[in-house]
Amino acid sequence: MTRRLTEQQIRDLIQDLEFQPLKITVEKQELEASEQAGNGASGDLLLNIAWKNNAEKFIAEVLGQATPKQIETKILRLEKFTSAINSKSAARKRFNPLVVAPYLSEKMLNRLAEAEISGIDLSGNGVVIVPDKLFIYRTGEKNKFLSSAPIKNIFRGTSSLAGRVFFAKPEYENVSEVLEEITKRGGRTTFSTVSKVLKALEEELIINKGEKISLLDAKKLLDLLLKNYRRPDVRRNLSVKCADYNLALKQMSENADRKKILSAWDYPGRYAALVQGVAESKFYTESIDGLLDGVDFTETSRFPDLTLLET
């Protein structure tokens, strides 16, 4: 079953968390006292982590859902908080920073380890660090708490349009301008969808939303778009030979503009020299009949010069 946990549910589940060979217990009674030393920062929980004859205190921050941006924010908060509380504590009592979330990817665990901050998830992954004493790293467990957010994949389908337009123009004034660029290029979506996708892209540290909305990591965006791409489902296809090829292309273009039919032309001859008569054009469209309205053609499977795919 997939579900998204609240931070309170995560706190409750931590009490039963197993991370062998460590024993993790929640010491709520000490949390209130420790919070007073935070100088404006705070921790969500105070944990005791024991192994063999050793034990260490950890100040933990809870994440309902871990994203790259949230991880960076928690790193800064925990560094500030543990530094402040350790400066006020007796030398023999030190506090270590730790992040708890439903799921932490290998990349997130590596980032935490780089900052010497521990992280444990409820799916069985984690890194626990006590400088000069302990280092345990465990990954490979699948996410048991997948998000059920309305937009499940911002890198596929209509949702991906909000990210793809950053390759045409890497900076925008606001959400409305991003939507305008999508619409100008033939895309169809809503302000609400674009706004949600941009928020998710910001959490992934792919874009920055400051005074303007700008692209931060083009390589990461392209990699995720390629990884999540799926070919459109073809409902119908038709291969034809046109009485006048150039006239047919002109008529199809006019039909697409007049009837607001989405279409895309795939023609290898634009990019490479081909033997005359072997370059077959492919059109992806939402309406074959609408695109061919008024075009003089004959349906054929032998040497067609146009193949139309309705998606």
pLDDT tens digits along 200-218: 999 999 999 989 999 999 9
**Whole-structure pTM over 0.75, yes or no?**
no
pLDDT, one tens digit per residue, over 8-21 is 888 888 877 888 89
pLDDT, one tens digit per residue, over 181-193 is 999 988 989 999 9
**pLDDT exceeds cutoff 70 at 30:** no
Domains (range + CATH), the chain: 7-138 (3.40.1350), 157-228 (1.10.10.10), 236-310 (no CATH)
| Rounded CA separation 222/232 (Å) | 19
**pLDDT exceeds cutoff 90 at 42:** no
Residue with tokens 């790259």: 68
For residue 226, give the 3-state DSSP assignment: helix
Strands 297-299 and 171-172: unpaired
First and final CA of the chain: distance in angstroms?
32
Adjacency order of strands within the sheet including 171-172: 171-172, 213-215, 207-209
pLDDT, one tens digit per residue, over 167-183 is 999 999 999 999 999 99
DSSP E strand stretches across the chain: 23-26, 45-51, 54-62, 95-101, 118-121, 126-130, 134-138, 171-172, 207-209, 213-215, 236-242, 263-266, 281-285, 297-299, 306-310
DSSP-derived secondary structure for 231-298: PPP-SEEEEEEESSHHHHHHHHHHHHHHHT--EEEE-GGGTS---TT---EEEEES-HHHHTTT--EE
Lowest mean pLDDT among 19-28, 120-129, 275-284: 275-284
| Rounded CA separation 2/84 (Å) | 38
29 pLDDT band (50/70/90 cuts)? very low
Looking at the chain, the whole-number percentage of residues with pLDDT higher than 90 is 61
List phi, psi (to 5°) of 291: -70, -35
| Rounded CA separation 158/79 (Å) | 39
Classify residue 41 as left (phi > 0), alpha (psi -120 to 50) or beta. Answer: beta
